[in-house]
Amino acid sequence: MALEKLQMIPLGGLGEFGMNCLALRFGDDILVIDAGLMFPEEELLGVDIVVPDISYLIENRSMVRGIVLTHGHEDHIGGLPWILSELNVPVYGTEFTLAYVEGKLDEHRLLDDAELIEILPGKRFTLGPFSVMPIRVTHSLVDCVSLAIHTPVGIVLHTGDFKIDLSSPDGHPFDLQAFADLGKQGVLALLQDSTNVDRPGFTPGEKAVIPRLDDIFAATKKKIFFSCFSSSIHRIKIAMELAHKHGRKVALVGRSIDNSTEIAQDLGYIDPPQGLIIHPGQIRDFAPDKLCILISGTQGEPMSALSRAAVDNHKFAKIDPGDTVLLSSRIIPGNEKGIYRVIDHLERRDARVIHDDGTNGLIHVSGHGSQEELRLMINLVKPKFFIPVHGDYRHLKRHVELALSTGVPEKVILLEDGDVLTLDKDSAQKTGKVTTGRVCIDNNSTADVVEDTVIRDRKHLGEDGLFLPIIAINKRTGAIEGQPEITTRGFAADDPDLLRNARDIVVRTLEQSSEEERRDYGVMKDKIRGDLKRFIQKNANRRPLIMPIILEL
């Protein structure tokens, strides 16, 4: 045992935002931290979600002792249905995190077979050679933890997503003392959240939004539509408290915000006064200045409640002139078009839209620590080795520079997905690479994995369209029946003679083929495809997807 070394293998989240998943291996035991997803970039046409390639875990399935979750955001738990369908191992998480996980697994019909084990901040548990101490941290979600993993070679501290908020609205502040105690014990390696490494100073606490939001509630004479991330339990709680203070009833509109609020109420994170929450169907029963509507869709999602209300197409949420719409969230990169499209529709309804965060006070704060918090954590735990996690390559690189500037870690290591970092008490070296990558999934189904070739075909179709030559062949004689037809989709020909000439190409290909070839439909399709491809490339400088269809008569 003493001769064995610890291996750290990131399977996702180092080089992109999302898909957070990391394996720790000691001998024949593997512990997995987080199982996230990533939402697809524009070029991944038709793909719903992207999850990490877990080939390494599948190859070593007998060694995997469990998956430990830091918190309940999608980029940390969203890949669980896919991973558990391949690898049914115990899942460890805090009460609130597991409540989200249960809903997700139930949706994918995986809940009955899942083993979910609740963990408590400050209470150690054991997985093989790993003794894991969850430590309370603050973030934009509740019940989040860092993981201090005691291994035979030393303590590995994985921060998860965090910011240092000592006055959290839920009464559970960041546990600064626990990190200071770890610093006294000695930390072998610190893996730290890189999300806000570009932001100077400290990230404001969740309560920093209250003064500006209070002013908005006080000044608004009509309905308030309050939109935030459905997982922002602190923000939902603050909105409800302000609504109560200003004599407004609260209606929850949108499935995600309704589900999150229900979980938060069940677990005691939100305790609204009796009668504060009304059913959306009761909105029309109250005066506009007595209403606050918590509505989902802050990122401009096309079918969200806010998007539908913005075009006057929601059963309960009707936005009238003079209403205030408050977007209490950041714009996730890539969502700008959708968000500004919704804002345009809201402006057409003569609503007052507030989506800034800083001119007259804050309406949104980040859930991730800025530069000074990152430095504070490094100075507090005094790690021997430092590894930045969670971020694009540029974030990881900036984080390396920030860690070096503290002068604390003996060694700073920039890892990417698939790198194998081997550690003992005195050294940390990259010693290899494992298979990693992304798995694209359609329809949120664990079965509908989309291959790269499918994405390529979708891109192809989107750019150059589809060409369908339809040919009728007499199976008995091999003779062509009638003239071939050509149907196109997404292919605009500048030359009106192009389709006629393409039809002639198909006829010539058929005529020049032997009777035996014409009876072999596979051969004929290839010949027609090849001849048409050359013709269209030469005459239209396009490369549509060509799919010959042969009707057997």
Which among 365, 360, 370, 331 is positioned nearest to 163, based on CA atoms? 370
Which among 368, 366, 363 is positioned nearest to 209, based on CA atoms? 363
Report whether 73 belongs to an annotated binding site: yes
Report whether 395 belongs to an annotated binding site: no
DSSP state of 16: B
Report whether 75 belongs to an annotated binding site: yes
Report whether 66 belongs to an annotated binding site: no
Whole-angstrom distance, CA of residue 66 vs CA of residue 32 = 6
Report whether 279 belongs to an annotated binding site: no
Report whether 368 belongs to an annotated binding site: yes
Report whether 364 belongs to an annotated binding site: yes
Report whether 358 belongs to an annotated binding site: no
Whether 57 and 89 have beta carbons less than 8 Å apart is answered as no
Report whether 161 belongs to an annotated binding site: yes
Catalytic residue among 193, 323, 357, 419: 193
Whether 300 and 338 have beta carbons less than 8 Å apart is answered as yes
Report whether 46 belongs to an annotated binding site: yes
Is beta strand 154-158 parallel, antiparallel or unpaired with respect to 187-193? parallel
Report whether 460 belongs to an annotated binding site: no
Q: Which residue has the tokens 């309960």?
A: 316
Report whether 48 belongs to an annotated binding site: yes
Which among 372, 395, 390 is positioned nearest to 71, based on CA atoms? 390
Report whether 361 belongs to an annotated binding site: no
Q: Is 45 exposed, middle or buried (0-12, 13-18, 19+ CB in 10 A)?
A: middle
Whether 314 and 216 have beta carbons less than 8 Å apart is answered as no
**Residue 368 bears catalytic tag:** yes
Token pair recorded at residue 84: 């558990």
Catalytic residue among 234, 345, 355, 368: 368
**CA 199 distance to own-chain centroid:** 22
Token pair recorded at residue 164: 């240092």
Which among 285, 278, 276, 272 is positioned nearest to 252, based on CA atoms? 278
Whole-angstrom distance, CA of residue 332 vs CA of residue 314 = 25
How many degrees, rounded to 5, is the angle at CA 359 between CA 248 and CA 332?
80
Helix residue ranges per DSSP H, 364-409? 371-381, 393-406
Report whether 314 belongs to an annotated binding site: no
Q: Which residue has the tokens 């669980």?
A: 80
Token pair recorded at residue 502: 């393409």
Instruction: Give me the sheet containing 116-118, strands edge to edge.
Output: 116-118, 91-93, 64-68, 29-33, 21-26, 6-12, 419-423, 428-433
Q: Which helix (H) or strand (E) holds 292?
A: strand 291-295
Whole-angstrom distance, CA of residue 128 vs CA of residue 64 = 10
Whole-angstrom distance, CA of residue 88 vs CA of residue 82 = 10
Residue ranges at the known binding site: 46, 48, 71, 73, 75-76, 139, 161, 364-368, 390, 442
* Residues making up the binding site for substrate: 364-368
Active site residues: 193, 368
Residues contributing to the annotated binding site for Ca(2+): 46, 48, 442
* Residue list, annotated binding site for Zn(2+): 71, 73, 75-76, 139, 161, 390
